[in-house]
Structure 1
């Protein structure tokens, strides 16, 4: 168990004049993602790991109105690996009533522990959702090649960037009624597809990670572009993989 912090020490974790501080970044990025339609209706979110601290956007709040004081802070070294229904260790819990930790917490931990990621973004992008709907119900993954934006995506989300001629493959898992319950199927897909930089969730959205928040953001943007063009290609009956 982490040592208990005083109120002042806990508050100091989210108070900073540095625009690059995770609490400030999460607030700013959520506003940007809201404008893109990725985190509307309180859904979606982002978590950033800085050293031994994990900063987490809250659930149950309009994402474009998040402030640094709304951010949860957890020690990366938990008493037990976060899983559905498990109790988490916290360094800081916001005092504002009605806020709760994100249901995405154990899924973010998948990215932190299985890919050593420094940040993970979850969006409810309509492009991601539509793409999963256009794939057959039993499709296990999405593939696309010969697209320039593939060059902005990294192997496994944290390795070398792909080339124009590489085929990008991202697993698709089925949605669940409770978001936490996606934890095991996400982990299984990450094990089966070690080169995948993200996980698509049918009728729900996508999880994307990176070594840093910058890389996670870049890859989220590149992938969203690829999801959108893939939807248009499928509707136009164009092959996703090939040189057309």
Structure 2
């Protein structure tokens, strides 16, 4: 669905102008270039969004991520959004389209207080969902424990500290839909069912990962991709994802 918009590039161009490398409009293109180099956002897929207080900065749809510029960034006010499918933007770049990922990013910001949400089309994420799809039980939950990289994740929303080596990391899986914004309700339901998760897998599609800050979201996205790749290789070798090491 085409989103409704307010403002123009001319009257709100200042929102994406900054010499600060940490400004969201500068960080998003930089992050997308990194994710493209990792194979996470090839063919214009995937996206990234950063929240700065009430302002939300978003990568557009259909743009080659390694070529993205700050001028391509959308901006909206989080508190002003009433209908997730009829979003109102402070800044809308000409000749571009808003991302259908936007309502899913908004869910991470509103339900989890996230400062950044990353969506990738990682092959490892997709393969894990396929492996789960073809097992007799637990088709909608990825679980792994006793792996050092699990320590890269927080214990959960509004909880202090990180998971430990022996803890079990659980990432729910939702089913894909023809239109990405239609995933929103399923993603929110998965958040409610697994309140400590920092990510949701989308079957045959990819993964959404969020964190309180850009640094935490990026770290968790990288840790998760490592674990997904490891899980695929473990399955090839007949090794279980869950073990009783104590």
TM-score computed with the length of structure 1 as normaliser: 0.92
Match of 1:142 in 2: 142
Quote how far apart the aligned CAs of 1:155 are: 2.6
Partners of 1:170 and 1:196 within 8 A in 2? yes
> What stretches of structure 2 of length at least 5 have no aligned partner?
1-5
Quote how far apart the aligned CAs of 1:6 are: 7.5
Cα offsets for 1:99-157 (capped at 9, x unmatched): 11110000001101110101100000000000111113561200000011000011336
Partners of 1:115 and 1:156 within 8 A in 2? no
Alignment of 1:21-40 (within 5 A): 21-40=23-42
Quote how far apart the aligned CAs of 1:236 are: 1.0
Matched, 1:114 2:116: no
Residue 234 and residue 196 in structure 1: after superposition, are their counterparts in 2 closer, same or farther (change >3 A)? same
Partners of 2:114 and 2:211 within 8 A in 1? yes
> What stretches of structure 1 of length at least 5 have no aligned partner?
none
Q: How many residues align?
A: 236
CA distance in 2, matches of 1:220, 1:157: 16
Cα offsets for 1:163-198 (capped at 9, x unmatched): 101000010111111111111111101100111110
Partners of 2:132 and 2:140 within 8 A in 1? no
CA distance in 2, matches of 1:94, 1:226: 36
Cα offsets for 1:70-121 (capped at 9, x unmatched): 0000001124041xxx2111110112x1x11110000001101110101100
SS in 1 for 2:117: strand
CA distance in 1, matches of 2:169, 2:89: 37
CA distance in 2, matches of 1:109, 1:229: 30
Partners of 1:42 and 1:60 within 8 A in 2? yes
- Over the residues paired in the alignment, what is the CA RMSD in angstroms? 1.6
CA distance in 2, matches of 1:199, 1:146: 21
Quote how far apart the aligned CAs of 1:215 are: 0.5
CA distance in 1, matches of 2:80, 2:234: 44
Cα offsets for 1:55-77 (capped at 9, x unmatched): 00000110111000000000011
Match of 1:192 in 2: 193
TM-score computed with the length of structure 2 as normaliser: 0.92
SS in 1 for 2:219: helix
CA distance in 1, matches of 2:16, 2:133: 44
SS in 1 for 2:100: coil
CA distance in 1, matches of 2:8, 2:196: 42
CA distance in 2, matches of 1:6, 1:229: 46
Match of 1:170 in 2: 171
